[in-house]
Amino acid sequence: MLKAIIFDLDNTLIDFRKFKHTCCEKAISAMIRNGLKIPKKQGMDILYKLFEQYSMEDKNIFQKFLKKITGEVDYQKLAIAVNAYRRARIGILSPYPGTKKVLSTLNKKGYKLAIVSDAPKLKAYLRLTAMKIENYFDVIVTLEDTGRTKPSKLPFKAAISELKVKPSQCLMVGDMPHRDMKGAKKLGMKTCFAKYGYPHEMKKKAWDYEINEVSELLDIIEK
C-alpha cells in the first residue's frame, strides 16, 4: 500500500532550466552592456559548457566564466553579473502549473510527502519558500544531509527513515532517470518519471509510471 510520495525538486516541481536560463541571460547581457566583448549567444554557450564541467549549482561560475573569456576576474563585471542574476530571479521562480493543488490534495488524502534534492540545503529552502510550498512536506533531504548525490541510496534511505515507511510503500517522482529512477529502484521503491522536466528522448523506460504534467500524478495515485 502506497503511504508516501518523494519528489525531486528542480525540473520536477519547478521549471529550473527556464529559471536558470533567464537569470544567466540577464547576467551576461549586463556584463556585455558594461564592456564585455562577446556575443550573447557565444557567452551563453560557454557558460553552459562550464555548468556541464562543474555544476549548475557552482557558486563561483561567473568567476570561472570571466576567467575563461578574459583570462582574469574583473570584479566590477562580476558584481554586475551577480546583481543582474539576483534581480532576475526575484518573482520568476514558481512551481509548475497545478503543483500546489496536487500537493494539497495528497496532504488531504493522508500521504506523507518528502523532497530528495541534490541541491545545497540553503538553495533548496530558498526555492521552496519562494514558491511557498515548503509546508506541504514532512521531510526535506538535501546534499548536506548525507553528503551524497543521487543515485546513491543514502539520500533515499534518509528520507524513508524519517518518513517511517518501507521502500515498497514509497513512490519516487523525478525528472532524471539516471539519478532519481535508478537510485529509487535500488531500494525497491516505485518510480514515476516526470517527463516534462527532461529535455531528451529516452529509448529505455526504466520506471513504473510516466507523467507529462504534475496533475497526472493524481490519476496514478487513484489507480
Give the model's pLDDT for residue 223. Answer: 79
Distance CA 154, CA 53 (A): 24
Distance CA 73, CA 145 (A): 33
Q: Could you tell me how many residues make up the chain?
A: 223
Q: Tell me which amino acid residue 15 is.
A: D
Give the model's pLDDT for residue 54. Answer: 92
Q: What is the pLDDT of residues 44-100, one digit of tens each?
A: 999 999 999 998 889 899 999 999 999 999 999 999 999 999 999 877 888 999 999
As a whole number, mean pLDDT of residues 28-38 equals 97
Give the model's pLDDT for residue 4. Answer: 98
Give the model's pLDDT for residue 203. Answer: 72
State the CB neighbour count (10 A cutoff) for residue 159: 27
- Does the pLDDT value for residue 161 go beyond 90? yes
Chain mean pLDDT for the chain: 94
4-15+94-222: CATH topology is Rossmann fold (3.40.50)
- Does the pLDDT value for residue 204 go beyond 80? no
Give the model's pLDDT for residue 201. Answer: 78
- Does the pLDDT value for residue 139 go beyond 90? yes
Range list for CATH 3.40.50.1000 in the chain: 4-15+94-222
Give the model's pLDDT for residue 92. Answer: 81
17-89: CATH topology is DNA polymerase; domain 1 (1.10.150)
Give the model's pLDDT for residue 137. Answer: 98
Are 5 and 111 in contact, with CB atoms under 8 Å apart? Answer: yes
Q: What is the pLDDT of residues 91-138, one digit of tens each?
A: 788 899 999 999 999 999 999 999 999 999 999 999 999 899 999 999
Are 150 and 116 in contact, with CB atoms under 8 Å apart? Answer: yes
Range list for CATH 1.10.150.520 in the chain: 17-89
The model's pTM: 0.85
Distance CA 50, CA 110 (A): 43
Band the pLDDT of 208: cuts 50, 70, 90: very high
